Structures are given as C-alpha cells and as structure tokens.
Amino acid sequence: MECTRLLIVLLTIIGMWIVVPDDLSALPRFSIDAGVSCQECHVNPTGGGMRNEFGAEYYSRIVLPMRTSRQEQRLEGFSTSLNDFIRTGTNFRTLFIYEDDGYNTFWQMQGDLYVSMQASRDLLFYIDIGLYQGFEIFGLLSIPSIDSYIKVGKYIPAYGIRMDDHNVYTRSGAPGIVNVPFGPRAEDTGVEFGYNSDAATLSFGVFSGNPGGGPRFADESINAVALRGEWRLQSGGGINGFLGGSLYRNKRSAFETINYGIFGGIASERNFNILGELMFVNFKQPPDAPAENYLLFFAELNYLVKQGIDLKLQYNLGTGGTPDRSRQAIGTGAELFLIPGLELRPLYRIHFSDELPNFSEGILMFHIFI
C-alpha cells in the first residue's frame, strides 16, 4: 500500500512538471540560482531571519510574487526602514496539519519580529523576538577590507543548508531515530568569525554548547565548536552550483555529539535546481557507553513553473542507532507566492519504516513576511 501511494506521489509531481508550461524569462529564486550567498538577501551572514533592504524591498516584492498580482498589490514607496539606522521585518507561519489517523489542527509554527540597528558604519545590532522561548540577539562587526565579520551573541550555529522547513531530517532529525540541534529554538551563545566573498563563505564559531538556553550547566566551559565552508560556482553557460562541508562538535560532561557532512546543489537557467545534504552523527554518553552512529540525508528538487509558482519534490533518510533502525520520507508540494508578502505552501509527506510506525501528513502553510 505504501509503495502504491509513493508511486502516485511521484507520478503526480512528474505529470505536473510535464503539462504545465515554464517561463524562461523568470528571474532566479534561490541563492543557488544566482550563485550568491544567503547574505545577498539577509542581515545574518549565514542566512535566515530578517531580510536586508535588497531582500525585503526588491527580491521578496518584485522577484518572488506573480507578475499580475505584483503590479496590482504594489505599494508605492514601501520600505522596512523606520529611519536611516533602524529597520524592521517579520515572519509569520501558520500551519494547517492533517495526519492519516484523522488528527487535524492549526499550529502557529512561527511568529518573529526582527529589528536591526546600525550603531556605526560597520557595527550592527540585531534581535529576533519570537512567540516561543527561542530568540536570537547578536552584534555584527563587519570588516569590509578583508570581506570578513565577527558575530557575538545568541543564534543558531552555522551548519549545512539552513532550510526553513524544520521537518527535514538534517535540521531536526529523523522521528524515532535521532534528533539534531539545528532546528527551531536551537540558538546557542558564542562568537563566530566569518569570511564571505563572491566565490566562497567560511565560518568558525565557539559556543557554550547549551542550545535553547535554559538552566546553567555544571561544566562551565566552552563546549561546542562549529565549522562551515561553502564554495560557489557561476558558469557562463547558465549553470550555477555550490558545494560545502560542515562540522559541529559539542562535548559535555553528560554526552558528546559530533555532526559532520557535506552539502551542495546545482541549478540551470531553465529554473530547475536540486540541493541536498548528507550528515553523519556520532553520539556518545560518557564514560563507558559505546558510541552510536547515524546517517541523515535530505534532497529537494525545485522547478519554477512561472514566476510565483514553484513545484518541489523532497526525500529524507535517517538510519543508525542501537538497535539499527531506519526511516524514510518522501514529499511533494508547491510554493505559491500569490501577492507580495504572502506565500502558500501545500505539502504532502509520507514517512515509512520497517521498524517504526508509518504515517503520512498533509500540511498547508500560510506564510506572511516583510
């Protein structure tokens, strides 16, 4: 039965790609399409969170939405700046979830308010206040002469591909297999040194090793390190890509975890891209417990049908542990940018395993952003 459902999902997404005409003049949607870093659109050099002036006032209002609605809904003089030094932004994500056991509900996934304040030409203060216990707050010192920066505060360590879908296995882990500390409310306190040029990004950070905050821990020391590097390729033939690697190690008195892996992607001028990430996890509870090893994999194909309509196909794999177990998930959906500031994202995903319960879920996300 599960194989039949998977086949239906695959045939559906392939059929949609075939019968719906593409728009070759549509502009690129992702950083991979343009061969640039996430910093092109975001205040945070490692991506996510608040959009900068280009991301908020041009990309999200001119490039993303459908052409007809873009013209009808355009606000003359729109700006996220309160004055020359203070900018704001928001991200609200509300989900309607339906699972195959009949469970259905609404869930407020995200409700974040962003504020950035320029203290001087190269020094910026940033705060992300969310609905839940997690928040980000940091100071960012830019060093333009060497394309570098120093970031100090509380934020999610840079690792792999920072997907906004926190249910992918390489961000939050595989259900029933293993969890990883890169999902929502995984902010940690520390300092990060980074280099960001047109061709490459490199960051190194040291952290307390206490993701999400909470009570102080007994082993008062720097416990975690994070290293991430990315190389970007722009070819004259309309093919762009990126390739990188990540390492995260958190050694505490109660446990030690090491996450490492590679990630990358490739995009063509025909508005098609594929990106993926492979992660290895080594987890040990000292002093005598044997280490447990896991493998997590995520891949996503995106196809821009026409401006404002993007189709996607996802695959997730998680395996390992004691006893050895595995789980896979396949999903299909779309991203619909109907008007500036509004995205609808329907997604259907099936999770299946030989050792664990199988389940499927349908999600409709309402995303409002500035």
Higher pLDDT, 52 or 276: 276
Structural domain including 320 reads 2-369
Q: What is the pLDDT of residue 270?
A: 62
Instruction: Please give the mean pLDDT across all residues of the chain.
Output: 84
Peptide bond into 323 cis (omega under 30): yes
Q: Which range (129-138, 142-151, 313-322, 348-357) has the least confidence?
A: 129-138
Domain count for the chain: 1
Report yes or no: 170 and 276 within 8 Å, Cβ to Cβ: no
Smallest Cα–Cα separation from 254: which of 294, 297, 210?
A: 210
Peptide bond into 287 cis (omega under 30): yes
Residue 338 predicted with pLDDT over 60: yes
Residue 5 predicted with pLDDT over 70: no
Summarised one tens digit per residue, pLDDT across range 88-123 is 999 999 999 998 877 899 999 889 999 999 999 999
Residue 61 predicted with pLDDT over 60: yes
Task: Check which CATH number belongs to the domain holding 178 and give it.
Answer: 2.40.160.10
Mean pLDDT value of segment 232-245:
82
Q: Which residue has the tokens 């099936």?
A: 350
